[in-house]
Amino acid sequence: MNVIISIVVVIIVVSSGAAFADAGALWAQHCASCHGKDGSGNTTMGKKLGMKDYTKSQSFSDAEAANVIKNGKGKMKAYKQLSDADVKALVAYVRTLKK
């Protein structure tokens, strides 16, 4: 029984790590050009658009962040092609950027 539980725990940890790695790749592909690799918004486009620094402040709910990623807001385009799991992983990734 303990072996089965151990195997399940390993599968969960490995799969959650893979999802996090995928979120990092999604961030690099879709978000970093404006928001910066570190989430500071310290990029040419980020400065031009007045991006918020996510390393300092994240005054939005997970649901609000997911909605903006999926549907866009202001000058940010919508990423409707992302699955709900990808959006959830991106929101979790953004939360790791705050220092």
Q: Which long-range contacts (CB under 8 A, 24 or more apart) does 54-63 make?
A: 54/94, 54/97, 54/98, 55/97, 55/98, 55/99, 56/98, 56/99, 57/98, 58/94, 58/95, 58/97, 58/98, 62/91, 62/95
The pTM of the full predicted model, rounded to 2 decimals, is 0.77
Q: What is the residue-averaged pLDDT of the chain?
A: 86
**What tens digit of pLDDT does each residue of 22-54 get?**
999 999 999 999 999 999 999 999 999 999 999
More confident position, 91 or 18: 91
More confident position, 10 or 35: 35
Return the pLDDT at 14. Answer: 42
